[in-house]
Structure 1
Amino acid sequence: MLRVDPFSAVDDWTRSLLTGDLGATRRIPRFMPIDVYKVDDHYSLVADLPGADPGSIDLSVDNGVLTLSAHRSSPSEDGVQWLASERFSGTYRRQITLGDGVDPAGICAAYDNGVLSVTIPVAEQAKPRKVAIEHSGAGRQEITTGTTEPTTG
């Protein structure tokens, strides 16, 4: 099972309110949209990282937490007169708690056209399986149930 931390977005929002930085002058990333879903024997995580520097994308797993970070550089500020500045630059970061039912050693990822796709396999012990039931005719015991009348004395 995977769990997404909804509080990281709230922390970012609160930090921007407390520091007075609402992104009007500094183009700081506010969020990294992701989709997480399960298909057969693996989970898929898809993250939108348009314009992220491919060499800056980092994916790590530590103590059951998958951390994804990426950086998008801003154009040089020298001699630039901004008319509109809506595209964020800076570092994106998301953390997702992995459950016990995944195989962290088998995680793989690919980055293509601004989209990072991460495959997180389900651990072998967490996969559903059929349990064989042995049938033996010998050694059967018959169990009877019933109520016994209380004795009065």
Structure 2
Amino acid sequence: MEKSWNPNFHLVIHNRSSENLNSGDILYIKELIKRDYPITLVNLSLQYEEYIPFLRQFDIGLAMYVPYTSDSHYDGKNFAEIGYSSGKFNTYLMLGLPALVTENRSFLELALEFDYGYVFGEFDEIPRLLEKIMNNYTHHASEALRLYTQKMNPDMFMGEYIKALCS
């Protein structure tokens, strides 16, 4: 980030846990802020009804996930593939926000059909991909919304889901 961050982009990091305020990553972010990098660290636990208005103020969503698995019965394909970033990604799409997402099979398959943003493999790709999104913002925003409308909107599947549960 230090070498290639475009100062025209302001990075907002939503840290929803006050328990990690002294972690190495958070301390590093705070150091970058002290050195006048365009970063804001928001330490705020939001209720669901507050989350959507909070996200509406942004232009692009970042859904980053480093795969994690263990022998725990709580870990499964979701944690190996996409983990907690799936909810962020879906919410960005619902709001028509183009997204930058870490590389995994699910995001790559969706990117073949929908130009919702970009999938990246290395963090140093982010500045270039932000520029690409902004250069064609309206297109990426409409594709994000199209993806949500056609594939990700849970309302499309709720009837079938309830019918299956009740049968």
TM (norm. structure 1) is 0.25
TM (norm. structure 2) is 0.24
The structure in which a higher percent of residues are strand is 1
